[in-house]
Structure 1
Amino acid sequence: MSGVSENIEGKLREALAPVHLEVVNESHMHNVPKGSQTHFKVVIVSDRFEGLSSVRRHQLVYGALKDELSRKPAQGGIHALAITSRTPSEWAESPEANTSPLCMGGNGK
């Protein structure tokens, strides 16, 4: 991992102390230039999510990544973010990430 992926991972580790974290660059699945780092999937498992709704969990992730989400992709920003957020017990019951939505603008190939 490098660049934007690395920033995402570092900020989420610092803010949410996850017991499991995956940051997947899915830009290649979208209509963007080759080598882009603009579309990501995050799978995050944290005790911090205990008792929180999905919306609140996602707000915590968005808060940790507010700089990347506010920047334009050409400036190291994130255009799209798919999030799977679970507690450790939820992850133990179902250790699978949600499927990212298909790109509406083509597949970039």
Structure 2
Amino acid sequence: MLPTPEQIKEYIANGIACSHVEVEGDGQHFFATIVSDQFEGLRLVQRHQKVYAALGDRMKSEIHALSFKALTPAEFEAGK
């Protein structure tokens, strides 16, 4: 069974303390905007590693493709 955007959102929120998570997708390809204080001071690759860690093995089995923005609250407010 293919995951829903709501399930992806839940997976991310369970692994990262987020102030905002939005996920769109068709069951195979997803795009997410993830906003968290935990991204403060992290380089882009470190932010991505944190998101992939939250998703764990689901990236190998359930989720075919995921692109995302991992932003701090200040970056999100600035419209980045």
The bucket for the TM-score relative to the shorter chain is 0.7 to 0.9
Q: CA RMSD in A?
A: 1.7
1:1-109 alignment, distance < 5 Å? 3-25=3-25, 27=26, 37-71=27-61, 77-94=62-79
Structure 1 distance, partners of 2:24, 2:43, is 23
**TM-score normalised by structure 1 residue count:** 0.66
Structure with more strand by fraction: 2
AA aligned to 2:46 is: R
Structure 1 runs (4+) greater than 6 angstroms displaced: none
| Gapped regions of structure 1 (runs ≥ 5) | 28-36, 72-76, 96-109
The total of aligned residue pairs comes to: 79
- What's the TM-score, normalizing by structure 2? 0.87
Q: Residue 101 of structure 1 aligns with which residue?
A: none
DSSP 3-state at the match of 1:94: coil
AA aligned to 1:57 is R
Q: Identical aligned pairs, as a percentage?
A: 41
The DSSP-based 3-state class of the residue aligned with 2:18 is coil
